[in-house]
Chain A
Amino acid sequence: MRRRCLSALLALAFCQTVVAEEPRSGYTYMEPATQAMQDDDFLNPGFFLVDEGLRLWRQPMGPAGQSCADCHGPVEREMNGVAARYPVLDAGTGKLVNLERKIQLETARMGAEPLAYESPEILSLTTLISYQSRNMPMQPEITPQLQPFLDRGRKIYEQRRGQLNLSCPQCHVDHAGDKLRGDVISQGQVNAFPIYRLLWGEPGSRHRMFEWCMQSIRARPFERGSDEFIELELYLVQRGAGLVIEAPGVRR
């Protein structure tokens, strides 16, 4: 009897290692010192973006002199949970948009100066808005209309590319937890973005990270803000569904 239990237990343990990975935040792969930096709003080097974002939220833009706040009201109320659902289909354009693209569309509509994809303004506003979803699980709503975007995103994720001929999952699925040179490879989840990356010495968006990984394998990256990167982003949000938003995250 006891023997049977034991083998059942072993079988269970075995099954668990075979079953698809549980999503795990990049946070859990980091050294305690880096985790502590993220946890403390005063130490977190990305936190100034929240303050800067709030200033921009209230700043009049464009000929009508309107601010985000004029239409939306308080950011804590209006943007609560929004970042956890993005990317979404934009009703106006019929395109898949992430937060950055949505902010670009909104400010264009207000007739404001166009904001470049990775501009300090966009980084601040996306950080502010993502911060309103802190500790909420990422939960994209995959409608039938979204399915083709998701499928394309998955294809991009799985495509081997570059002079090193590697796909994202070869590192982030097959070797999560292993050491690549000096780095521990994580699952490559997107729940902490925008992140302050110590290696960069500055904050960056999800697409900047995709670009960095593609450049490391000597592949030609898609453009930040491109349809391809937003589809990839959608796939990664779905893959990591349930992980809580950590913005502004801190990473090595």
Chain B
Amino acid sequence: MPALALGIWLQGFGTANADGLAPLTGQPGDPSRGEALLLDMQRVSCLICHRISSLDERDQGQIGPALDGVASRLDNMELRQRIVDARVFNPDTIMPPYYSVTGLVDVADLYRGRTIYDAQEVEDVVAYLLTLTEEANR
């Protein structure tokens, strides 16, 4: 028990009680499809709130942390969990749940009962984010 607690402590706060998520589909994500999805502003792009310097897109947001080098900070399980439902890490997060309909209120008819991304799209975006390492940044 103390060993476990120490292990959790060593992982640092935030990720301590976050398990991350295994892949949602059997088909590996496609990074180029993930990138295209991010550049599509009609699809609740991450760029509404985040910046990715390597992308050629003028109107990038600054609500969340920049995602440059994010793959050197988070592994695929953690990235996937963030996109699926970031409320697991922070119940008050402003980041929308991309693959969960739990607890949503007054959703517009067109979107009721549907998630922002489907499972394969989540995998594609994870695959793209995994290319954003510190090395790729240099």
Q: Is the interface of A mostly helix, strand, loop or mixed?
A: loop
Query: What chain B residues lie within 8 Å of A180 (beta carbons)?
Result: 48-49, 61, 63
- Determine the distance from Cα of A181 to Cα of B96 in the docked complex, in whole angstroms: 15
150-179 of chain A: CB within 8 A of chain B: 159-166, 170-171, 174-175, 178-179
Query: What chain A residues lie within 8 Å of B105 (beta carbons)?
Result: 159-162, 165, 219
Query: What chain B residues lie within 8 Å of A219 (beta carbons)?
Result: 105-108
Q: From A159, A165, A179, A220, give the contact of B96 (CB < 8 A).
A: A165
Distance in angstroms from B112 CB to nearest chain A CB is 8
Q: Specify the chain A residue showing the minimal Cβ separation from B92.
A: A170
Query: What chain B residues lie within 8 Å of A178 (beta carbons)?
Result: 61-63
Query: What chain A residues lie within 8 Å of B108 (beta carbons)?
Result: 162-163, 215, 218-221
Q: Specify the chain B residue showing the minimal Cβ separation from A215.
A: B108
Q: Specify the chain A residue showing the minimal Cβ separation from B113.
A: A163
Q: Specify the chain A residue showing the minimal Cβ separation from B104.
A: A165
- Determine the distance from Cα of A162 to Cα of B62 in the docked complex, in whole angstroms: 22
Is the CB of A182 closer than 8 A to any CB of chain B? yes
Given the known interface contacts A163-B96, A164-B96, A174-B94, the answer about A181 and B47 at a Cβ–Cβ threshold of 8 Å is yes
The 0/1 profile, CB within 8 Å of B marked 1, for residues 90-134 of chain A is 000000000000000000000000000000000000000000000
Query: What chain B residues lie within 8 Å of A179 (beta carbons)?
Result: 60-63
Is the CB of B97 closer than 8 A to any CB of chain A? yes
Given the known interface contacts A174-B94, A181-B59, the answer about A162 and B47 at a Cβ–Cβ threshold of 8 Å is no
Query: What chain A residues lie within 8 Å of B109 (beta carbons)?
Result: 220
Q: From B58, B63, B97, give the contact of A182 (CB < 8 A).
A: B58
Query: What chain B residues lie within 8 Å of A164 (beta carbons)?
Result: 44, 96, 116
Is the CB of B26 closer than 8 A to any CB of chain A? no
216-238 of chain A: CB within 8 A of chain B: 218-221
Say whether A161 contacts B106, CB under 8 Å. yes
Distance in angstroms from B44 CB to nearest chain A CB is 7
Say whether A218 contacts B111, CB under 8 Å. yes
Distance in angstroms from A143 CB to nearest chain B CB is 30
Distance in angstroms from B131 CB to nearest chain A CB is 23
Distance in angstroms from B63 CB to nearest chain A CB is 5
Q: From B48, B61, B63, B114, give the contact of A163 (CB < 8 A).
A: B114
Q: From B60, B94, B104, B106, give the contact of A181 (CB < 8 A).
A: B60
Is the CB of B41 closer than 8 A to any CB of chain A? yes
Say whether B61 contacts A162, CB under 8 Å. no
Residues of A near any B CB (own CB < 8 A): 159-166, 170-171, 174-175, 178-182, 215, 218-221
A-B contact pairs, 16 of them (CB 8 A): A160-B105, A161-B104, A161-B107, A163-B96, A163-B104, A175-B63, A178-B61, A178-B63, A179-B61, A180-B48, A180-B61, A181-B41, A181-B59, A218-B44, A218-B107, A220-B107
